[in-house]
Structure 1
Amino acid sequence: MRIDILSIFPEMFAPLNQSIVGKAQEKNIVDFHTHDFRENAANKQRHVDDMPYGGGQGMLLMLQPIFDTIEQIPVSQEKVPRVILMDPAGKRFNQNMAEELSQEEQLIFICGHYEGYDERIKTLVTDEVSLGDFVLTGGEVAATVMIDAIVRLIPGVLGKQASHEDDSFSSGLLEYPQYTRPEEFRGMKVPSVLMSGHHENIRKWRLTESLKKTLERRPDLLEHYEANEEETKILKSLRENGKDVVK
């Protein structure tokens, strides 16, 4: 996958050179290119923002530097790249979107600053995306989070395909609790079922704990979750025994 990022602060993407995403670059699984669109500013001062027509607070990103920068990016003639505008008013980013975008050959991120964008920039865009219901100084941090979530889903990035399949949200549920050595630490013990070696009992325990955690912390996820017969029975039991099981 090729990922192009438009930003006036390209140095903010240094974390993408570290950890799993950095190793993905070393393996040539993903190829990053940052573009400082200030370099395409048409004025001597290299300004990329201006006051909004009609008045109002703040400054808006101008069209020309962004248009010119995107037109300089090499793109495949066979498949149009997804162009993602980081926008607080955009669609909420989630795991399903990360999985969808991980299938693309090329992604282009536009990261803004100031009060907003000239609305006509959106003629370049295929997706307007928000990280959540809050405002950041700029789009760089949000884009970094999105890229990390997307890249780790590309085949070959993680050691095992199953490494992300059990992650919270990948299945539609929160992940079950996990433990490692020592078996007991300061009076806190690993659940005995995990030490039993009984794979079916372990599977059932993990499923129950996953459903319990989701019911406790993110019941909204269950509103659209298509539970199978086994999961439906477990959820019914958890809800009936709510005072004992669900905090």
Structure 2
Amino acid sequence: MRIDVLTLFPEMFEGVFGASILGKAKAKGIVSLEAVNFRDYANNKHNTVDDYPYGGGGGMVLKPDPVFAAVEDLQNEADSKPRVILMCPQGETFTQQKAEELSKEKHLVLICGHYEGYDERIREHLVTDELSIGDYVLTGGEIPAMTVIDSVVRLLPGVLGNETSAITDSYSTGLLEHPHYTRPPEFRGWSVPDILVSGHHANIEAWRREQSLLRTLERRPDLLQTAELTAKEKKWLASLPKQSKTEQQ
């Protein structure tokens, strides 16, 4: 996969692209990660990429010409038609399902805005997707873009050491993930559940599924509306009294 980010602050991505899972994926050649300063595509002597909004008002608006030129240059360079994603608070809320969809693409271009907003022609005639990572305000699209890239790249084959990790993560199954434990078996009087050290894999998987359902019911019951549940699981959940997870266990 190739991922290009259009940003006015490419230095923000140096550490992110070179460390942890993203750095390893890049070193293995699984993904190409580049931050491109679209100011380099400005067509005026001052290299300005923003201007005052028509009709008046506060703030500055990103001009369409440098953004279009940058995307078209990347498209020609890669000889591909990329998925062009606008990081925008008005966009579709980013989800695990969207990450899985994007992980199947060959080329992504993410556009990070600053200032008051984008010229509407960028939104109407250039991008294929608009994404938001939540209902809050940030100074720019860089951190949201990092979030999307990290979520997408970890799904690519060969990136994670354990290929089942991404499959069982929270939201990947439509439910929140079950609790995890590791050594020591007892810590400050708190013990690991006996089932996890029983060696009975079928019982362990059944316990994990049950815990995943309980955790989702307690913390994100809205997810149960669209999760793939068996008739038996639906009946079991409906029979549970309204009480805390501790009481349920």
With structure 1 as the length reference, what TM-score do the two structures score? 0.94
SS of aligned partner of 2:91 = strand
State percent identity of aligned pairs: 55
Aligned twin of 2:51: 50
Letter in 1 for 2:112: C
Q: How does 1:91-170 map to 2 (within 5 A)?
A: 91-122=92-123, 123-170=125-172
Q: How does 1:182-221 map to 2 (within 5 A)?
A: 182-221=184-223
Letter in 1 for 2:11: E
SS of aligned partner of 1:72 = helix
Distance 1:81 1:244 in 2: 47
Q: 1:119-172 CA deviation, whole Å, 9 max, x = no partner?
A: 001211000111111111000000000000000001111123211111000000
Letter in 2 for 1:4: D
Distance 1:69 1:158 in 2: 32
How far 1:242 moved relative to its partner?
Answer: 2.1
How far 1:90 moved relative to its partner?
Answer: 0.5
Aligned twin of 2:38: 37
Q: How does 1:72-87 map to 2 (within 5 A)?
A: 72-75=73-76, 77=79, 80-87=81-88
Structure 2 contact 114–140 (Cα < 8 Å) conserved: yes
SS of aligned partner of 1:42 = coil
Structure 2 contact 75–81 (Cα < 8 Å) conserved: no
Distance 1:173 1:126 in 2: 28
Letter in 2 for 1:152: R
With structure 2 as the length reference, what TM-score do the two structures score? 0.93
1:44–1:100: structure 2 CA closer, same or farther, 3 Å change rule?
same
Structure 1 contact 216–246 (Cα < 8 Å) conserved: no
How far 1:229 moved relative to its partner?
Answer: 2.5
CA RMSD, 1 decimal: 1.5
How far 1:202 moved relative to its partner?
Answer: 1.0
How far 1:234 moved relative to its partner?
Answer: 3.2
Q: 1:15-73 CA deviation, whole Å, 9 max, x = no partner?
A: 12110111000110000122101112122222111110001121100011111111211
Aligned twin of 1:224: 226
Structure 1 contact 215–246 (Cα < 8 Å) conserved: no
Aligned twin of 1:9: 9
Q: Which runs of 5+ in 2 are unaligned?
A: none
